[in-house]
């Protein structure tokens, strides 16, 4: 089997993710009557029925993903298929990473500003990519976030991260959030340490894919 069906399915997953994201945004902003809200809920229930026809288990990776190749379409920060994700767009550099996104109403904490926990979530993801730019992906060991100024909704944001040190299996990273228009004005600052996975840990974590290889060779070899 060629790449066609897999790429087409990835594209359909991203389209559905985008529609669901738009809908989630509207649900937090709409002021239509309770009757329209309830009618919408009923129609969503019907859509859910169709999607329920074939559902994977938690242990089985999504067929559109490629864990070893770094394709995670349902990641809650950068996955185009996950309606929770803005999604943040990321570029990996030589000793760091940079990300961009604009956050709507759904991410609101204090009125008209981004929820502090959402800022922490974006940073955790971006610093993880920065740490992985050393060639060894790892898991977050600790993360410290300092909130300097409120982060505005509906304004293009920039999230950055740079590796400051590598010691044994530990990678130290600093980073932060600014607006795209004022990259010199820190809104949020952060530092974190990541721990590289040992080969046996990595293989256990990605063992789901090994089972998928055996069960579904057409998809796995795409």
- Residues in 130-169 at the binding interface with its own copies, rule: CB under 8 A: 139-147, 150, 153-154
Say if residue 87 is preceded by a cis peptide, omega within 30 of 0. Answer: yes
Count residues near its own copies (CB under 8 A).
Answer: 92
175 binds its own copies (CB under 8 A): no
Q: How far apart are CA 44 and CA 24, in angstroms?
A: 12
CB of 86 or CB of 96, closer to its own copies: 86
In sequence order, what are the residues at sequence separation of 6 or more whose Cβ sits closer than 8 angstroms to the Cβ of residue 110?
A: 150
Q: Which of 180, 197, 179, 196 is nearest to 188 (CA)?
A: 179
91 binds its own copies (CB under 8 A): no
Single residue of 108, 134, 164, 166 touching its own copies by CB under 8 A: 108
Residues 64-83 that bind its own copies (CB under 8 A): 67, 74-77, 81-83
Q: Is 137:197 a contact under the CB 8 Å cutoff?
A: yes
26 binds its own copies (CB under 8 A): yes
Single residue of 40, 164, 172, 179 touching its own copies by CB under 8 A: 40
In the complex, the smallest distance separating the C-beta of residue 94 from its own copies, rounded to whole angstroms, is 24
179 binds its own copies (CB under 8 A): no
Query: Which residues make beta-bridge pairs with 170?
Result: 167, 195
CB of 18 or CB of 166, closer to its own copies: 18
Q: How many angstroms separate the first and last alpha carbons of the chain?
A: 7
């Amino acid at each position: 089997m060629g790449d066609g069906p897999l790429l087409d399915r990835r594209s359909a997953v991203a389209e559905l993710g985008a529609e669901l994201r738009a809908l989630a945004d509207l649900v937090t902003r709409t002021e239509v009557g309770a009757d329209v809200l309830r009618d919408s809920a009923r129609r969503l229930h019907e859509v859910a029925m169709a999607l329920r026809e074939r559902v994977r288990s938690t242990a089985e990776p999504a067929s559109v993903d490629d864990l070893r190749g770094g394709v995670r379409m349902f990641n809650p920060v950068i996955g185009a298929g996950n309606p929770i994700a803005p999604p943040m767009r990321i570029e990996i550099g030589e000793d760091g990473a940079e990300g961009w996104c604009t956050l709507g109403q759904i991410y609101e904490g204090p009125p008209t500003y981004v929820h502090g926990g959402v800022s922490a979530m974006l940073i955790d993801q971006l610093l993880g990519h920065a740490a992985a730019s050393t060639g060894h992906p790892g898991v977050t060991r600790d993360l410290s976030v300092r909130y300097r100024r409120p982060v505005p909704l509906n304004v293009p944001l920039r999230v950055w991260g740079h590796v400051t040190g590598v010691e044994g299996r530990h990678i130290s990273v600093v980073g932060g959030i600014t607006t795209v228009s004022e990259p010199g004005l820190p809104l949020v600052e952060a530092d974190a340490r990541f721990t590289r996975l040992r080969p046996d840990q990595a293989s256990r974590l990605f063992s789901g894919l090994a089972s998928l290889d055996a069960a579904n060779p057409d998809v796995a070899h795409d």
